[in-house]
Chains A and B, each alone.
Chain A
């Protein structure tokens, strides 16, 4: 018997119930690992598994839920010791009448950026369990009790890449329909269905009654068999007793069976009596679920974007033609990139294109960092934009959702390398209508390529709704007749193939005056022709205005709600932006009061008559010094100091712009900053960063949880004379010491300053730091001393 045979039976399939509480009843002491039972109390496990089998379980979960190397290490055990023994005991108890599942539970640590466990390390941890379980002869794998879609994906990849076992995936939801990390049932269903799970559902959480609506949502987004293995309600903290009886449980579960939920079992607070009651309640039932038409959509773990109207893909995370972006990438400045993301979503972008290709940087490494960091601040789904398959795959591996791959073309080399990745990771893909012969002139030829890409994708098992076609915008100043061909191709792809269509809109107007006018008109024409996924700059109101107007005029924006919300009482939504309102305040006043716009305007005025460096040295820095001394004397407080710094920064940007046009440099020198490995506290470090930047230093901010090698490499690459390290925990001071040791060992000519709440000057000296900075202001003083 195997899982497919079970599924062909057309009846509800029964899972088992709780393991941990059953072991405690047998005598397992509180606090002891349930996984040790396989080695120390095999008879207990045999008894429990047999009781479940006799109660009617078709699938027995081996006692391997917590058998990850991280958890077992605490007890001096390994997966290779525990898993074969546990699987074997379940098999003995099953006696050929039930299947045995390798059970994979959460590792017990949060993944980056919430925690410090990297997705790839999580993968390796799961892979080790999977190899042990498959070798021991498990019939299937179950991944359960997950709250983080990123961790779930890593476990699923580990199963699929290290075994041929069928795999059931369940997550734990709260009553609000989300997991503790914010993952929704819809996002889970879209993501895991695409990645090849064999069944999905939920376990643990609450009682069956509260979970029905969550299963319903899941059911709208997948045709996979569904699983419900809930708790018997909630435990009383005083007694530990769960509040739903076996009979109540079975009654509620039987309603789920009627709705076609295929796999039924129990989690915490359930027992063989629960499963027996469940068997009785569902006996004779036929389990069927209507095939649903899954809505076209992309998603992050927390946000599903249905493609039921025009959705805007923000184009700004891309260094092409953007000097500041390029500089930020070279400086490894993730915050700049994240700022671009938040600005675009605030302006109305639904999806964000991510392109970090730039000569001189490791695109793959930067892409992975960018994708991880973006997921920490935005729920907008991502479009991974690269010409290199290895970059696409690295990004898809760490993206916890259903991404869009940008792009594949009609070229054989592209089709054969990119589409398999799209299939494997369950992504959607943008197909460019060009091939070995280049971009065809006519709509008909582009349409043909679109169809070829679609056919190829479908033949690989990619659902056609996941193929989006880019009919390619050509510059109208160079090829005036091409615009109508593009629009015609869009119309045909939309109408005849029914696919989503993508266009990079602003290409149309290169080399022309009044580009926003041309872009807006082209966008409107393209949407009318059937463009559904414009790639554009959402920060330009003309573009968003076109999209909002289109939704208004096509009835997608019912009762003009969004339009009115966006434009309120304005009669004209596009106020001519005045480049700078004349400043009525001095730079000093603006900095002191934390007024960003005014500070920038004042700097602009000063630059008309003064040299840039004069403005910095005689106006800006003295103003900051004033703020600093007011802070030190307790006249202002940290928030105001940072506001002053923010205003100074705005002024500084203006100065930098001025200097970059005259190709000089304003930087006094480079400082590398990092929160050390294993530490994730970074607000203090970020305050230091802003102040240093204000005083004219270039800051290479490596972020938090930074390996020592990365710090040393950055110091070397950027020739930094000063490094600032931050640690906030007694448990991470060791990382700080190790980082300093490595810098010394590699004989890098840099001074090291350290800071953080648990540090003292004495300790700083004892680990070889050159300076201890009590606060950000002292950090600046140290930089002045070291660099000047």
Chain B
């Protein structure tokens, strides 16, 4: 499924935040809006999803046959009987544009990189809305991705293959579980017929980047 991002609704503030720039910094804001033109005109963001039953055998959790290891994801999906597994990507065009811009002007590339990060998060938000709309009346957890907490990053390949992402989205994982194209996300959303206990919106405790996180040091939050 495709999602079109446009200039008017693009989360410029998010891109600035990923850049580590102050919101009121006009110079940086201009750099972001300049980078958006070529980005938005070249990318074709897409996503793919499936609704799968969750199985719990003793303390082993799996979704549609995909083992979900670790206690964090078990806690996250508590009370859910199904899960939305989805993946989204900005596509190869974003990667190529980034490679090209790095050669031409590194400062533009740094800005572009942050714009891409903001863009893929926005795509995920929109995708989440669209998926939820297909399940009226259900209750949902927040998004949870491989690599968060103790859910291993190494499930990326099996995750993508369950969604047939390599052929249906051109989205693959490398031997080191890096998603390619680079600006891509995989995530799980728990689904339940019953209201869920409000899970903590901030998941810094279970984040693998918590040690070095620049946002956390400034007592801010990255938004995931």
Q: Which A residues fall within an 8 A CB radius of B?
A: 29-32, 74, 106, 108-110, 113-117, 145, 147, 172, 174, 176, 179-182, 204, 237-238, 240, 268, 335, 338-339, 342, 376-378, 594, 634, 637-640, 642-643, 645-646, 678-683, 686-687, 690, 729-732, 735, 757-760
User: For the complex, what is the distance from the CA of A645 to the CA of B114, rounded to whole Å?
Assistant: 19
- B157 & A182 in contact (Cβ 8 Å cutoff): no
- Determine if B212 is an interface residue (Cβ-Cβ < 8 Å): yes
Q: How far is the CA of A646 from the CA of B107 in the complex (A)?
A: 8
B180/A114 in contact, CB under 8 A: yes
Using A29-B65, A338-B103 as known contacts, say yes or no to A637 and B22 having CB atoms under 8 A apart. yes
- Are B93 and A237 neighbours in the complex by a CB distance under 8 Å? no
A108 to B134, CA, bound (A): 30
**For the complex, what is the distance from the CA of A238 to the CA of B136, rounded to whole Å?**
13
Q: Are B180 and A115 in contact (CB under 8 A)?
A: yes
Cβ contact within 8 Å between B111 and A639: yes
Q: How far is the CB of A351 from chain B (nearest CB, A)?
A: 18
Q: Report whether A679 and B178 are in contact in the complex, using a CB–CB cutoff of 8 Å.
A: yes
Q: B92, A180: Cβ atoms under 8 Å? A: yes
Contact A182 B110 (CB under 8 A): no
Task: Look across to chain A and name the residue whose beta carbon is closest to the beta carbon of B218.
Answer: A634
Which of B27, B109, B162, B170 meets A181, CB within 8 Å? B170
Report if B49 contacts A (CB, 8 A): yes
The answer on a CB contact under 8 Å between B154 and A731 is: yes
**CB pair B212 A637 closer than 8 Å:** no
Known: A147-B170, A180-B169. A113 touches B99 (CB 8 A): yes
User: Is the CB–CB distance between B28 and A680 below 8 Å?
Assistant: no
Those of B174-196 within 8 Å (CB) of chain A: 174-178, 180-182
- Whether A729 lies near B177 (C-beta < 8 A) is yes
Q: Do A30 and B110 touch (CB < 8 A)?
A: no
Does B158 contact A31, Cβ atoms closer than 8 Å? yes
Which chain A residue lies CB-closest to B62?
Answer: A31
Contact of B100 among A110, A377, A732, A735 (CB under 8 A): A377
- Inter-chain CB contacts under 8 Å: number: 166
Q: Which residues of B contact A729 (CB under 8 A)?
A: 153, 176-178
Smallest CB separation, B137 vs chain A (Å) = 14
- Indicate if the CB atoms of A678 and B175 lie closer than 8 Å: yes
A690 CA to B104 CA in the complex, in Å? 13
- Distance between Cα atoms of A91 and B153 in the complex (Å): 40
Q: CA separation between A108 and B177, bound complex, in Å?
A: 12
What 4 new A-B contacts, CB under 8 Å, besides A594-B107, A730-B153? A32-B65, A116-B175, A639-B107, A730-B208
CB distance from A756 to the nearest CB of B (A): 9
- A109 interface neighbour in B50, B173, B182, Cβ under 8 Å: B173
Q: Could you list 7 A-B pairs, sorted by A, with CB under 8 Å?
A: A31-B65, A31-B158, A109-B175, A237-B48, A339-B103, A683-B110, A758-B209
Interface pair A680/B103, CB less than 8 Å apart: no
Q: Within 8 Å CB of B93, what residues of A?
A: 182
Q: Which residues of B contact A204 (CB under 8 A)?
A: 167
Contact status A116-B103, CB under 8 Å: no
Q: Which chain B residues in 15-62 approach chain A with CB under 8 Å? A: 19-22, 25, 27-28, 31, 44, 48-52
Query: How many angstroms from the CA of A394 to the CA of B44 in the assembled complex?
Result: 33
Say which residue of A29, A634, A731 sits within 8 Å of B177 (CB atoms). Answer: A731
